Structure 1
Amino acid sequence: MYVSLVLYQHTLADIQTTLDSLLHTDSVDKVILVDNGGCNWADHLGHTKIAYIKAERNGGFGYGHNLAIRKYTRLSDYFLICNPDIDFDPKELEKLLEVAKSSSAGLYSPKIIYPDGTDQYGQRLLPTPLNLFARRFLPQYFSDRLDDKYLLKTLTVHLTLNKPAPVPSVSGSFMLFKSKCLLALGGFDERYFMYMEDMDLSRRCAVRFGVLYVPSACVIHEHQQASYKNKALLKAHIISAVKYFNKWGWVFDKQRRQINNETLSTLKETD
């Protein structure tokens, strides 16, 4: 398995926990550090499992991972997209890999939690504009009610998700792909500088190959939700959301409605 991490102004200390988790996982053959800027130190680590790519510019999250995808994906059957703020026991990644080896889907995601153990609900339906914008700008009472369905929190679905389940969208912080599927999809859409690129890629994979959420495997993600605290990042998130809905449809998105309905129906049937 090959793994890519995109770095920007990170220090070694920032990513040490993630590196340790990956380097201690037997099935990980190579960890590719993509330097989008300010991380020249990553070229001098001297570990046989670590490779380094210097990006010509900071083109964003998807741009950085695509550099690694294009260069290395053909060298391994599985390719992991990983954030540099992830922590996990190596056996958790091995669990995810075992499911991938016995399934026909193209993308696999574990349960992703905060350091305090709270579920981040990285497995989701495809969002409507209301789902995304209500979470930012409407009172919590209304946004929470919308989130119950969008984040698959409703009781019947939540019980179902205690076992592997097909979903149309998963968090970009930890995405395990079958390499042939990732190559066929062409990697990330680089029109998104940051935010929404994982949802876009998940959606395309769900349509062509399938996406499977695997809650028996679990990783920890710091997930600072920076766009909730930083106006510049909030602007970037809004810009990406506009690009996403311009691409797939705002109110009229027949495919979104069909995929979401099929997902909910499948989950309820297998409950």
Structure 2
Amino acid sequence: MKSVIVSVVLYRHSLEKVLPTINSILSSDVVKRLILVDNSDCQWARKMGDPRVVYVKSSSNQGYGHGHNQAINKFAAESDYYLVCNPDVEFSSDVLKKLIEVAEQCPAGLFMPAISNADGSRQEVCRLLPTPLDSFVRRLLPAAARWTSKNYLLQNADFSCTFFAPSLSGCFMFFRKEALLALKGFDERYFMYFEDVDLSRRAAEQFGAVYVGGVSILHHFEQSSYKNNRMFFLHIKSACQYFLKWGWFFDPGRRRLNKICLEGLPVKQ
């Protein structure tokens, strides 16, 4: 049986908040280990009863990617697949097996299922790689976001299908182990936000990144950067870091990967 190692990064989370995620993960018999990386002081995480749970106290709080990298660097080589998971998701016990079945038939390195809100609506987190216009207009002028949204958010796609997509959400990133190790995990220059776009882009470029229709999880999405000034600042800072790294307006890689996605996109009828 193929095995999966999962990492979840904690920051001032209560057990009550994270328990649905932990139960979802441990309900799957393909999970070899669940690594709880503590970026703050979640003492309850030291005392989990399941022998598959490993507690890792972060060396310091250097962000989401740094937290996951500590687990990736230490444990990823021990499994066939690796799941980067948020502490605010829930899913059925067969989800990881279904993703393994897809991955065994597809050579891509990164997979993401459909992500749903609590009301059953689809979260628009399977996207093209962003342009500065996509990122800043949507964040700073949400009323004008419809001008940039249609292609960027793949609104014409048939999301019941499986297809290549260059930007997949960091809330649930299912990696082939060899791909994740070759990519060396997250770029730790991003404290929070855009680290998933960056990693997904690199995975898409080197191994392929695939949205998997027919498999779904629930994500309790808080959009904290819309409610908290510090998170807003971090969002803008990370966006600038991303475009400084990959290019603001001249970015041939973005154009090429987005074109591959749009040309192969299954269109809803």
**TM-score (ref. length: structure 2):** 0.96
What is the number of equivalent residue pairs in this alignment?
266
Instruction: State the AA in 2 paired with 1:147.
Output: S
Give the distance between the partners of 2:232 and 2:249, measured in 1 at CA: 22
The corresponding residue for 2:58 is 55
Aligned mates of 1:83, 1:139 — CA distance in 2: 25
Equivalent pair of 2:164/2:211 in contact (CA under 8 Å): yes
Tell me, yes or no, if the aligned pair for 1:95 and 1:216 is still in contact at 8 Å: no
Q: Which of the two has greater helix per residue? A: 1
Q: Which deviates the most, 33-42 or 79-88?
A: 33-42
Specify the code of the residue in structure 1 equivalent to 2:43: N
Whole-angstrom CA distance in 2 between matches of 1:85 and 1:173: 8
Q: Which runs of 5+ in 1 are unaligned?
A: none
Q: Which of 180, 183, 188 is residue 182 of structure 1 equivalent to?
A: 180
Pick the aligned partner of 1:237 from 235, 238, 258. 235
Distance 1:174 1:139, change over 3 A: closer
Given the two structures, how large is their TM-score scaled by the length of structure 1? Answer: 0.95
- Is residue 163–residue 266 contact of structure 2 (8 Å, CA) maintained in 1? no
Root mean square deviation, CA, Å: 1.4
Instruction: Return the match for 1:93 from 75, 96, 106.
Output: 96
Which residue of 2 is the match for residue 106 of structure 1? Answer: 109
| Counterpart amino acid of residue 233 in structure 2 | K
User: Per-residue displacement from partner, 1:25-79 (whole Å, max 9, x unpaired)?
Assistant: 1111110000011212211213111001001110100000000000000100100
Q: 2:164 matched to which residue of 1?
A: 166
Aligned counterpart for 2:154 among listed residues 152, 156, 159:
152
Does 85-94 or 213-222 show the bigger shift? 85-94
Gap regions ≥5 residues in structure 2: none
Q: Deviations 1:170-199 (Å, cap 9, x if unpaired)?
A: 000000000110000000000000000000
Task: Give distance in 1, aligned partners of 2:236 and 2:142.
Answer: 18
3-state DSSP of counterpart to 1:31: strand
Counterpart among 256, 259, 262 of residue 258 in structure 1: 256
TM-superposed CA distance for 1:268, in Å, is: 5.3
Give the Cα separation in 1 of the matches to 2:268 and 2:164.
Answer: 11
Partner residue in 1 for 2:202: 204
Q: Does 1:17 align with 2:20?
A: yes
Give the % identical residues: 47
